[in-house]
Amino acid sequence: MLKSLLAAALLMLGGHACAASTDVAPLSVTLHGQHFSVELATNEAAREHGLMMRTSLAADHGMLFVFPDTAPRGFWMKNTLIPLDILYFDAERKLVSTQLDVPPCKADPCPVYPSAGPARYVLELSAGTATRIGVRDGDTLAIDGRLGTVD
């Protein structure tokens, strides 16, 4: 019971990794010298849908979740069909935590993948990308473009 309550609380605090709804036009980010085209998830509905039901994600694409506050985040992979790297960034866009090679969820309930510290931005990339480009804690995420309204 306690485990279920903790999972629910983390999801309410953070959102979850799921799919294809965004509320602002795509833009790009740069991390560890690599550029990625990203879709934005800046409202509750877009953050809840995330990358759900996608069957592929190009190596140079991802999704950037933007929250109105900095807090511990917890993502899950319900209805997400592709493995992902989940990278958590603080308000200064410094990498504070990673969950690498997170598999699609085949259990019920799906496990929650929490941040190790408070985060405001979460970047989802294809599994293996963070390792391939050599991402390290403290790396800065540069956002190229307008984030629009965050709620």
Count of Cβ atoms closer than 10 Å to residue 59 Cβ: 12
pLDDT at 87 over 70: yes
Count of Cβ atoms closer than 10 Å to residue 149 Cβ: 11
pTM beyond cutoff 0.85: no
Where do the domains of the chain lie, and which CATH numbers do they carry? 2-144 (2.60.120.1140)
Question: How is residue 62 annotated by DSSP?
Answer: E
Q: What percent of the chain has pLDDT over 90?
A: 76
The rounded distance, in Å, linking the Cα atoms of 41 and 57 is: 16
Chain segment 96-141, per-residue pLDDT in tens: 999 999 999 988 899 999 999 999 999 999 999 999 999 999 999 9
Q: What percent of the chain has pLDDT over 70?
A: 83
pLDDT at 4 over 80: no
Picking from 146, 143, 147, the residue whose alpha carbon sits closest to that of residue 36 is 143
Give the per-residue pLDDT at 125: 98
More confident residue, 20 or 138: 138
60 pLDDT band, cuts 50/70/90, is very high
Give the per-residue pLDDT at 25: 54
Let me know: does 29 contact 141? Beta carbons within 8 Å.
Answer: yes
15 pLDDT band, cuts 50/70/90, is very low
